[in-house]
């Protein structure tokens, strides 16, 4: 049986229009997750459950983190089908106003990790590819 390359989704319209080279799938996923996770429920979308926000109602920090992990995992599962078997975990505080989470999953049959930094002052979320492990 011959191994075939996984089918890639077409490049974004504006990138094709500008004739830009294709980005790695992991970079595309990081950008997409950044858009999704920076959207606030009921504020940035006509879809009521798109984005994050439930964790902000919790006054207990421990419970807020648990809700945030659950929300992020649901958002990844719902909005990024290229990443299979996703998991979210808290890595800890990076600076006085920055908390880091990790999203792990499989992309095209390989392990893939993303750092998710959340600024606790502005609630801005940055998603970056850590690595894609080919075995």
**What digits encode the pLDDT tens for the residues 83-120?**
999 999 999 888 888 889 999 999 988 999 999 998 88
Provide the residue ranges of all domains of the chain, joining segments of one domain with +: 24-133
Q: Closest by alpha carbon to 11, among 26, 25, 32, 31?
A: 25
Q: Looking at the structure, give the CATH architecture of the domain made up of residues 24-133.
A: Roll (3.10)
Q: Closest by alpha carbon to 132, among 82, 64, 96?
A: 82
Average pLDDT over residues 54-74: 71
Beta carbons of 125 and 37 less than 8 angstroms apart = yes
Beta carbons of 90 and 69 less than 8 angstroms apart = yes
Question: How, if at all, do strands 125-133 and 110-119 pair?
Answer: antiparallel
SS3 assignment, position 127: strand
| Confidence bin at 22 (pLDDT 50/70/90) | low
């Amino acid at each position: 049986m011959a191994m075939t390359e996984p089918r890639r989704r077409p490049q974004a319209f504006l990138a094709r229009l500008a004739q830009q080279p294709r980005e790695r799938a992991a970079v595309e996923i990081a950008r997409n997750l950044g858009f999704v996770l920076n959207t606030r429920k009921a504020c940035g979308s006509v879809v009521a459950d798109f984005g994050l926000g439930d964790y902000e109602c919790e006054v207990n920090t421990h419970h807020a983190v648990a809700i945030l992990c659950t929300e992020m995992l649901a958002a990844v599962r719902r909005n990024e089908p290229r990443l299979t078997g996703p998991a979210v975990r808290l890595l800890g505080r990076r600076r006085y106003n920055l908390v880091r989470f990790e999203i792990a999953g499989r992309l095209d049959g390989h392990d893939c990790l993303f750092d998710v930094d959340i600024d606790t002052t502005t609630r801005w979320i940055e998603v970056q590819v850590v690595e894609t492990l080919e075995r």
